[in-house]
Chain A
């Protein structure tokens, strides 16, 4: 298991992964990745992509960390730019879900399955309640999970703007964007 991970790391750390001379698919890795018409701050969002979506790398916007890409869905081809940190050359991690009969789900199918949105399951709550040392922390952990889910992509995007960090995680789709 370690060799593929180390290889992937080496590719990313080395700044390799894709070039215009040898177009290859890249994968979206960040939630709510905005495919924008241009790298200008006022540019419109063409589409909002999700982890696992494939794009074709066409080259970098000169002197910027924005990448020119195309995205194809069915017969619709969209072209624009994506902030580089939202992209990876590594195929996305698939998650196994026993609810789906042990199927390996891509990130979007996994998100849609609802498996990852639940808080502590009833079995773990029972597990905690059987041990007095753990029982008094069940309520607190459940409350923390409740707080955490309020920190959604929109909250993060706002905070990132204020802190002048990289705009990797975007706001949810609005208007014409998916």
Chain B
């Protein structure tokens, strides 16, 4: 084995054992190992794109969304320091104060969700222990708010606005779209690494070879019914681990695009008003977001811009013609701010439960 090949093998081996999510640029790794002249970088990219294209175009069935949502939900709960009422007891929600608060949150959230564009999802709303100012969602109907956020909420309409914003991310499938992009990118990285290794040597091919994105795996994923996302076999679990770790980082560090956030705000205002809440309460609540912070989970666009866009949309709706023959502008249905539900007000006054060791805040 030549010195160059040995160095390249070591480089690819280190990538392989680090996990696919870390395979950010296999070509660069190999180049740095000094084997650039032995591989064909020009042909690897298009070939990887061709092989992975079905993954970018396939529709994602609910079973897969549900599995992804459950996995992400576990991560959000873990990062949020655990569910309020379920962190320090072997019997989750054994105390009335936390159980009643979780139920009250679900009354507000599920009322909104049951009149959303995806009313039949298994909607689940939860409070996590973190003192950060945060709300976050996961596909298939999981929505979490932190105790820190609840501290800042002064009425039910504000809370409804926060929940409706997260519901909108789910109904608009924003995380699912990011997942689709992540899985496609992961496939291209892995396939590119395989192609480079084939060009370098047989030993490299063995080192970098992956079953996650073999032709058979891609075909099965693209066939909609080819993988069992309820049971998640070892191979699919491995895929999930790789993709969710990258996806978590994307969602947490970068967040959704500004367009996605504005779209979620508009749907939130609509949902609120249809349920009877005054959407102005949500506009005002946005003013409490810490500027530049990862408030409401991610690096959102500037709060002043969000408020302006929402105010304009609400004003346009309120000035729409109302001659009695057409559907009313949605804002005509809204009137309530309402006090915070009593169990949530009680929770705000209650001391936090003891934290689990090792819990991290969002």
Contact = CB atoms under 8 A, between A and B. Distances in A.
A48 B171 CA distance: 24
A73 interface: no
A145 B83 CA distance: 12
Contact of B333 (A85, A111, A160): A85
Given A134-B75, A165-B276, A168-B275, A139 B86 contact: yes
Contact of B332 (A65, A93, A119, A169): A65
B229 A98 contact: yes
A96 B224 contact: yes
Nearest to A6: B263
B72 to A, nearest CB: 10
B125 A148 contact: yes
Interface string B300-335: 000000000000010011001110111111101100
A29 B117 contact: yes
B320 A15 contact: yes
A148 B123 contact: yes
Contacts, number: 263
Nearest to B274: A85
A87 B67 contact: no
A124 B120 contact: no
A168 B115 contact: yes
Interface residues of A, number: 85
A43 interface: no
Contacts of A160: 111, 276
B71 A147 contact: no
Which bracket fits the contact residues of B?
35 or more
Given A123-B232, A163-B336, A15 B328 contact: yes
Nearest to A102: B224
Contact of A2 (B241, B263, B329): B263
A17 B27 CA distance: 53
Interface string A1-34: 1100110010011111111110000000111000
A9 B171 CA distance: 13
B120 A51 contact: yes
A160 B259 CA distance: 32
Contacts of B67: 121, 123-124
A140 interface: yes
B122 interface: yes
B77 A140 contact: yes
A67 interface: yes
B214 interface: no
Nearest to B123: A148
B270 interface: yes
Nearest to B110: A151
Interface in A71-120: 84-87, 89-90, 92-93, 95-99, 101-102, 107, 110-111, 115-120
Contacts of B83: 137, 140-141, 144
Interface in B65-105: 66-67, 70-71, 73-75, 77-78, 82-83, 86-87, 92-93, 99, 102-103
6 contacts: A12-B270, A17-B327, A116-B121, A123-B237, A124-B70, A168-B114
Interface of B: 59-64, 66-67, 70-71, 73-75, 77-78, 82-83, 86-87, 92-93, 99, 102-103, 106-107, 110-111, 114-126, 156, 171-172, 177, 223-225, 227-233, 236-237, 240-241, 259, 263, 266-267, 270, 274-277, 313, 316-317, 320-322, 324-330, 332-333, 336, 338, 356, 358
**Which 8 residue pairs across A and B have the least CB separation, nearest first?**
A123-B232, A102-B224, A140-B86, A15-B329, A85-B274, A124-B70, A165-B276, A143-B92
Interface of A: 1-2, 5-6, 9, 12-21, 29-31, 51, 57, 59-60, 62-63, 65, 67, 84-87, 89-90, 92-93, 95-99, 101-102, 107, 110-111, 115-124, 126-128, 130, 133-134, 136-141, 143-145, 147-151, 153, 155-156, 159-160, 163-166, 168-169
